């Protein structure tokens, strides 16, 4: 099988020869096969949209070769270029790009006009597509009367109305909520699997990479990594067991070590929201879980207030909420706030209030450990935490400090908390040790990259420096460590452990006697 798209050593530079010269593509080479779904992933400014524009024939590279469906795009005549855009590719845009003065039906039918299809035939074909994408009732409406998800479905219908072999999608879910985004991603996947299209999608959302057969990771105009997710006829490698959200966070951090903390946080945000969601809710429907996850993502980004978050939890699922009763919604909202506060705290360097010398005192690791231990014991040990011996608490503080400093990994922390006191450990009940460990790991993941209140500032150039300092991911990377063995259940990943932790916590509420010390 020959590739549908072949690129060889593509180079593209914006503002060449000027003071603001920028190399968007640097010796980029790849092959994409028929009926394959490829995602191009990376942070803003890495060159992924420029690469998509080159494949679309909208940008001409400075050097290299780009061939699509056996045609050299750099040698196309104006007529060949017009035919290429009309018949061989379809494009899905982030901002939909629908014509506001035309009806939904006429928007989808528009590409048919350029290949001289008669009104009756094109309208018949369009109505079939609108029915398929569940927007047939909106056929006579204008785009502004539709929701974002509906507009994007119209945009996808328009992209395939001329039956092109290749679909190019530029951040197709960038303006959508999580539920609509997932629906659109399933439609994109169907184009590949059912329509037998080749789909090339640009995204900076790591949550969508699981839909692709292959993922090209880009940074600074270069494809730095290629990952194969699914078995494909002409791709030699095979996909493995799906990775947990925590493992995917670690993969991204290893791939993009030179990013700033803020950039890294944006890339891993969907996975942080997923981990948080699994930690707090386990008994809701898929739709309610997705709504919670979307609200959690907005909460982590700071674009939603505490009261707005509570409203979403309390609102019925029929009205776009999660459907908790008021008491449960309030309890979960309060727990989320406390966990987020702890996440911010462990990465904070200085106190917000100034001392008598008008300076911000540094928060020591011992102070952080003391605060975290109090939080963990209240969270995982309930009313019994006051019964701990002072020596046990001191040992636990030392262990938490070592975890913060990276001297302990997750497995080490659990073993030390679980180890009997007479053998040098803290001597917690194994379930309590497990809950405390999971809560600590959750705090460390969520706190990374969060905006700090007070003297903490966004990354900026230091005096005499030539570039922004990269994110220090050393601490948070240890959150996704080597295999942990919790007695009879070896090798549980973080997602499963958090769900187990929730179940264990519920049991402890109903039977607090299980938490007696060793």
Q: What percent of the chain is helix, strand and coil (3-state, nearest 5)? A: 50, 15, 35
For residue 384, what pLDDT is reported? 55
Burial 342-378 (b: 16+ CB within 10 A, else e): bbbbbbbeeeeeeeeeeebeebeeeebbbbbbebbbe
Q: How far apart are CA 414 and CA 478, in angstroms?
A: 14
How does pLDDT run across 294-329, given as a tens digit for each residue?
A: 888 888 878 888 999 999 999 987 888 888 888 989
Is pTM, for the whole model, over 0.85?
A: no
Query: Are residues 308 and 220 located together in one domain of the fold?
Result: no
Instruction: Show the domain range for 62.
Output: 5-242
pLDDT digits (tens, 9 = 90+) for 95-117: 899 999 999 999 999 999 999 99
For residues 57 and 164, membership in a common domain is answered with yes
Give residue 248's pLDDT band: very low, low, confident or very high (50, 70, 90): confident
> Are residues 446 and 396 located together in one domain of the fold?
yes
CA gap 516, 365 in Å, rounded: 29
Residues 16 and 8: their CA atoms lie apart, in Å, by 21
Whether 255 maps to a domain, the answer reads no
Mean pLDDT of 223-245: 62
Q: Is 400 part of any domain?
A: yes
What secondary structure does DSSP assign to 137-192, as a single string?
GGTTS-GGGS-HHHHHHHHHHHHHTT--SEEEEESTTTTS-HHHHHHHHHHHHHHH
Last-in-domain residue among 242, 274, 292: 242
User: Same domain, yes or no, for 80 and 197?
Assistant: yes
CATH number assigned to the domain comprising residue 165: 3.40.50.300
**Which of 248, 291, 302 is CA-nearest to residue 272?**
248
For a pLDDT cut of 70, what percent of the chain falls above it? Answer: 81
- For a pLDDT cut of 90, what percent of the chain falls above it? 42
Q: What is the signed CA dihedral for 32, 33, 38, 43, rounded to 10 degrees?
A: 0
- How far is Cα 483 from Cα 493, in angstroms, rounded to an integer? 8
Mean pLDDT of 70-87: 93
486, 415 contact by CB (below 8 A): no
Q: Do residues 309 and 190 share a domain?
A: no
Domain-embedded: residue 456: no
372 within some domain: yes
Q: Residue 57's closest CA among 37, 71, 44?
A: 71
Cα–Cα nearest to 68, from 396, 462, 106, 58: 58
pLDDT of residue 386: 59
Instruction: From 197, 212, 242, give the residue that closes a domain.
Output: 242
**What is the pLDDT confidence band of residue 253, given thresholds at 50, 70 and 90?**
confident
Pair 415, 474 in one domain: yes
What is the Cα–Cα distance from 213 to 36, expressed in whole angstroms?
Answer: 6
Whole-Å CA distances, 341 to 70, 226, 300: 56, 37, 11
Range list of H helices, 326-463 = 326-346, 365-381, 390-405, 410-418, 430-447
User: Looking at the DSSP assignment, which residues form a beta bridge with residue 226?
Assistant: 216
pLDDT of residue 284 exceeding 80 = no
Tell me, yes or no, whether 303 and 439 share the same domain: yes
Q: In this structure, are 314 and 438 located in the same domain?
A: yes
Tell me if 45 is assigned to some domain. yes
Residue 459: CA count within 13 A, CB half-sphere? 18
Q: Distance of CA 24 to CAs 59, 136, 263, 291, Å? A: 12, 41, 18, 36
Residue 458 in domain: no
Which residue, 179, 208, 242, sits at the end of a domain?
242
Q: Residue 273 falls within a domain, yes or no?
A: yes
Residue found under tokens 């507009």:
151
**Does 199 share its domain with 61?**
yes
Beta strand 89-92 with 166-170: parallel, antiparallel or unpaired?
parallel
Q: Measured between alpha carbons, how far is 301 from 336 in angstroms, rounded to an integer?
A: 14
Average pLDDT over residues 366-379: 89
Domain assignment present for residue 11? The answer is: yes
Q: Among 125-139, 154-168, 205-219, 482-496, which stretch is predicted with the lowest mean pLDDT? A: 482-496
Structure tokens at 223: 């494809």
Same domain, 222 and 317: no
Domain check: are 103 and 211 in the same one?
yes
- Joined together, the tokens standing for residue 207 give 């949550």
Domain shared by 195 and 278, yes or no: no
Q: Using alpha carbons only, give the angle 341, 346, 348 rounded to the nearest 5 degrees.
A: 90
User: Considering the chain, what is the average pLDDT of its residues?
Assistant: 81
Tens digits of residue pLDDT in 459-488: 444 444 444 445 555 454 444 433 333 333
Q: How many domains does the chain have?
A: 2
């Amino acid at each position: 099988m020959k590739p549908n798209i072949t690129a060889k050593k593509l180079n593209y530079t914006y503002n060449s020869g000027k003071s603001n010269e920028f190399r968007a593509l640097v010796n980029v080479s790849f092959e994409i096969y028929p009926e394959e779904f490829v995602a191009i992933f990376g942070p803003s400014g890495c060159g992924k949209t420029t690469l998509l524009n080159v494949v679309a024939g909208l940008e001409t590279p400075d050097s290299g070769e780009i061939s699509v469906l056996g045609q050299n795009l750099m040698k196309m005549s104006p007529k060949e270029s017009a035919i290429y855009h009309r018949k061989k590719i379809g494009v899905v845009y982030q901002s939909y790009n629908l014509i506001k003065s035309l009806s939904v039906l006429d928007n989808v039918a528009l590409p048919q006009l350029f290949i001289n299809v008669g009104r009756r035939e094109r309208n018949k074909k369009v109505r079939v597509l609108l029915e398929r994408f569940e927007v047939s009732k909106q056929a006579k409406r204008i785009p502004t009367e539709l929701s974002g998800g509906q507009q994007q479905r119209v945009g996808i219908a328009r992209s395939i109305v001329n039956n092109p072999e290749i679909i190019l999608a530029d951040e197709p879910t960038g303006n959508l909520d999580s539920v609509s985004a997932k629906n659109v991603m399933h439609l994109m996947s169907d184009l590949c699997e059912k329509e037998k299209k080749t789909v090339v999608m640009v995204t900076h959302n790591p949550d969508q990479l699981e839909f692709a057969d292959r993922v090209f990771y880009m940074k600074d105009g270069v494809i730095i990594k290629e990952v194969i997710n699914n078995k494909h006829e002409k791709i030699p490698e095979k996909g493995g067991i799906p990775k947990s959200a925590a493992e995917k966070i670690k993969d991204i951090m290893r791939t993009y070590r030179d990013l700033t903390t803020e950039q890294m946080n944006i890339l891993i945000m969907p996975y942080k929201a997923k981990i948080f969601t699994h930690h707090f809710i386990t008994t809701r429907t898929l739709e309610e879980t997705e709504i919670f996850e979307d609200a959690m993502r907005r909460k982590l980004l700071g674009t939603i207030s505490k009261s707005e978050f509570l409203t979403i939890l309390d609102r019925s699922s029929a009205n776009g909420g999660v459907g908790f009763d008021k008491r449960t919604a309030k309890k979960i909202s309060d727990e989320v706030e406390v966990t987020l506060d702890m996440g911010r705290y462990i990465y904070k360097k200085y106190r917000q209030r100034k001392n008598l010398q008008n300076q911000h005192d540094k928060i020591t690791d011992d102070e952080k450990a003391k605060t975290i231990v109090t939080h963990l014991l209240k969270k995982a040990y309930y009313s019994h935490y006051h019964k701990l011996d002072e020596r046990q608490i001191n040992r636990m503080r030392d262990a938490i400090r070592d975890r913060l400093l990276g001297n302990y990994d997750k497995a080490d922390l659990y073993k030390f908390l679980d180890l009997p006191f007479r053998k040098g450990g803290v001597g917690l009940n194994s379930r309590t040790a497990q809950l405390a460990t999971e809560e600590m790991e959750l705090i460390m993941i969520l706190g990374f990259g969060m905006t700090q209140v007070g003297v903490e500032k966004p990354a900026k150039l230091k005096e005499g420096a030539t570039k922004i300092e990269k994110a220090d991911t050393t601490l948070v990377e240890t959150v996704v460590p080597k295999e942990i063995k919790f007695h009879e259940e070896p090798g549980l990943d973080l997602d499963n452990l958090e769900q187990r932790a929730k179940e264990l916590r519920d049991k402890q509420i109903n039977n607090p006697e299980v938490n007696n010390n060793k």
